Amino acid sequence: MPMVIAQAPELTAQAWFNTDSEIELAALRGRVVVLSAFQVLCPKSLSFGVPQTLRIHQTFDPKEVAVIGLHATFEHHAAVTPAVVKAFIQEYRLKFPIALDQPSKTGPIPETMERYRMRGTPSLILIDKQGAIRKHAFGQIDDLRIGAEIGALTQEGGAPRKGIESAFSTSGSAP
């Protein structure tokens, strides 16, 4: 099913880690953005989501591909504090910027997770150089495939192509 290309909404974070200031997606235009959502208490985030994000961060030139982590706490809110996320980042030696999603005022799903209509963690979103969402995946993704898709997006100029495959994948865990 073809994906409707939409502009990526800005991130809302209660805290940022591994960066001196808040990151705005608009400031990253001209680069591909990989937004990787995870939770410290999610087994699938720990087994493949976070390790894959590390590999992406280590593989691609940061001048071409900006990798951003998003800790999206949609369960166990009382247990996951900014101090817990900071300790997790240090323990796993994560070097890319990470946003701690802003809690919702109306329900359990945090703001950025809701804006992107994520189904759970891990989720991976590719945003092209013009700021359009080009892939939205939930669950495990093959490294070679995602690497090829990121590489293809880095080679694009001009307007985004239409009909890029949607990866609202049925694999992975639900919130």
- What is the distance, to the nearest Å, from the Cα of residue 113 to the centroid of all Cα atoms in its chain? 10
Two tokens at 23? Answer: 């990151």
Domains belonging to the chain, first-starting first, are 42-77+96-175 (3.40.30.10)
**pLDDT per position as a tens digit, 111-155:** 999 999 999 999 999 999 999 999 999 999 999 999 999 999 999
Residue (of 69, 162, 48) closest to 113 by Cα position: 69
For residue 137, the SS3 value is strand
- What letter does residue 104 receive in the DSSP assignment? P
Two tokens at 98? Answer: 């990470």
pLDDT value for 157: 77
- What letter does residue 2 receive in the DSSP assignment? B
For residue 45, the SS3 value is helix
Type of residue numbered 62? P
Q: Please give the C-alpha separations between residue 27 and each of 17, 110, 136, in angstroms, as whole numbers.
A: 18, 23, 21
Confidence of residue 5 (pLDDT cuts 50, 70, 90): low
**pLDDT per position as a tens digit, 33-61:** 999 999 999 999 999 999 999 999 999 99
Report whether pLDDT(93) > 70.
yes
pTM here is: 0.86
Residue (of 6, 44, 5, 14) closest to 110 by Cα position: 14
**pLDDT per position as a tens digit, 144-168:** 999 999 999 999 975 444 443 333 3
**Interval 7-22 mean pLDDT:** 95
